Chains A and B, each alone.
Chain A
Amino acid sequence: MAILDILTYPNDTLREPCEPVTAFADPAFQTFVDDLLETMHAAPGCVGIAAPQVGMLKELLIMDCSLTRKPPKGHHGLQVVCNPVILDWSGMEVAREGCLSLPDFTGNVMRAQDVSVQFQDRHGEEIAMNMQGFEARVIQHEMDHLEGRLFIDRVISRKADIFKRKVYGKARR
């Protein structure tokens, strides 16, 4: 296992669209998933990471809302998400987001409140689930990374919506 380097903006790779994951049985892919997991855990306060953030242009993201200070009700804990598709969404809400690839800032971003997503787990098994609130926000943020988008692309007003980041505490491990 290894902690991978996180690409930070500006970086061309963060702007590239990703390719679907197909090689589920490839040991190198499984090792990469483990490394990405370790990288997420090593980043203070981090609850989600997408493969392109470490330079791997694959439709893979990892999220775990149990890692937040106040875990949201009804969250699904750790999810390794491959090839995600949003099937349905409803509601819109503005809230502040941060990003490992934009370490110095946070911004107000409008996202759907509820999403139904379909994806494959790390072994290629098909999964569908409904996510709400903060968890829905996390997967939308990470799915943006898979298309080469960053939250700053969705910020409406720089003055009111971008903030210098408060510092997160020490790494959990």
Chain B
Amino acid sequence: MKQFALLTLTGRDQPGIVARTARVLFESGCNIEDSSMTQLRGQFTIMLVLGMPEKVSDEELRQQLQAVAGEMELLVHLSRIEDVPSAEPSGEDADACYINVLGADKPGIVYRVTRTLEEVGGNIIDLQTQTLGSAERPVYAMIITAELAADVEPVRQRMLEVARDLGVEITVRDADAPPL
């Protein structure tokens, strides 16, 4: 059976992090099955699901990664994972929606929105936030993609309440997509 591992590397961004990491993975025969790599405020974060070759032990791979990590001051974490679905995400049979939040930055936006989503049985597939605007007048933007247990309408109603309480704008869009 195919073996998988989750690898994360984080650290202050500089050119070459991805290339040097990818080189180690390539040379050790690991396959990058899925990846998310992004820069957050000067920090670079890499999250990978690796298909693991049989010939390399976790210890060997860790050592090789550690050589890059030491050189570039990165934190590395490697752990085996099981029950990896062949295609992702697992949204089969589920309705999905996008939730866009935009408003003045204030404490609790992420918490209130995601708590409400959990209460209505939603499951977050992707969440990204960004602070926009000037330092004096920051604007907070959050985009969530979520799978829903039920219809999108109750989610929209609940999010309207949250939007009123927080004084932000929340739009909930049905991710319905008829075949074309």
Chain A hits for B180, CB < 8 A: 46-49, 97-100, 138, 141-142
**Given A159-B36, A163-B96, A166-B96, A98–B89 Cβ distance below 8 Å?**
no
Chain B hits for A46, CB < 8 A: 178-180
What 9 pairs across the A-B complex have the smallest Cβ distances? A98-B177, A96-B177, A48-B180, A106-B177, A98-B179, A141-B180, A45-B178, A100-B179, A96-B175
| B residues with CB within 8 A of A | 34-36, 87-96, 125-126, 128, 145, 173, 175-180
Does A97 lie within 8 Å of B177, measured CB to CB? Answer: yes
| A residues with CB within 8 A of B | 43-49, 67-69, 95-100, 103-104, 106, 138, 141-142, 159-160, 163-168
Does A164 lie within 8 Å of B95, measured CB to CB? Answer: no
8 sample A-B contacts, Cβ–Cβ < 8 Å, listed by A number: A43-B179, A46-B178, A46-B179, A106-B175, A163-B96, A164-B87, A164-B89, A166-B92
In the bound assembly, the distance between CA atoms of A113 and B92 in angstroms comes to 28
Chain B hits for A67, CB < 8 A: 178
**Nearest CB of chain B from residue A137's CB, rounded to whole Å:** 8
Does A164 lie within 8 Å of B179, measured CB to CB? Answer: no
Chain A hits for B90, CB < 8 A: 164
Does B178 lie within 8 Å of A166, measured CB to CB? Answer: no
Does B179 lie within 8 Å of A69, measured CB to CB? Answer: no
In the bound assembly, the distance between CA atoms of A97 and B175 in angstroms comes to 9
Does A168 lie within 8 Å of B179, measured CB to CB? Answer: yes
Q: Which B residue's beta carbon lies closest to that of A134?
A: B178
Does B179 lie within 8 Å of A103, measured CB to CB? Answer: yes
In the bound assembly, the distance between CA atoms of A47 and B179 in angstroms comes to 7
Chain B hits for A98, CB < 8 A: 177-180
Q: Which A residue's beta carbon lies closest to that of B125?
A: A163
Please name 10 further chain A to chain B contacts, defined as beta carbons within 8 Å, in addition to the given A68-B178, A163-B89, A164-B90, sorted by A numbering.
A98-B179, A100-B180, A159-B35, A160-B126, A160-B128, A163-B175, A164-B89, A166-B96, A167-B92, A168-B179
Does A69 lie within 8 Å of B91, measured CB to CB? Answer: no
**Nearest CB of chain A from residue B150's CB, rounded to whole Å:** 13
Does A69 lie within 8 Å of B126, measured CB to CB? Answer: no
Does A166 lie within 8 Å of B179, measured CB to CB? Answer: no
Q: Which A residue's beta carbon lies closest to that of B97?
A: A96
Q: Which A residue's beta carbon lies closest to that of B143?
A: A160
**Given A159-B36, A160-B145, A167–B93 Cβ distance below 8 Å?**
yes
In the bound assembly, the distance between CA atoms of A166 and B151 in angstroms comes to 13
Does A99 lie within 8 Å of B89, measured CB to CB? Answer: no
**Nearest CB of chain A from residue B123's CB, rounded to whole Å:** 13
Q: Which B residue's beta carbon lies closest to that of A159?
A: B36
Residue of B36, B87, B145, B179 with most partner-chain A CB within 10 A: B179
In the bound assembly, the distance between CA atoms of A46 and B91 in angstroms comes to 20
Does A164 lie within 8 Å of B175, measured CB to CB? Answer: no
In the bound assembly, the distance between CA atoms of A66 and B125 in angstroms comes to 31
Chain B hits for A163, CB < 8 A: 89, 91, 96, 125, 175
In the bound assembly, the distance between CA atoms of A116 and B91 in angstroms comes to 35
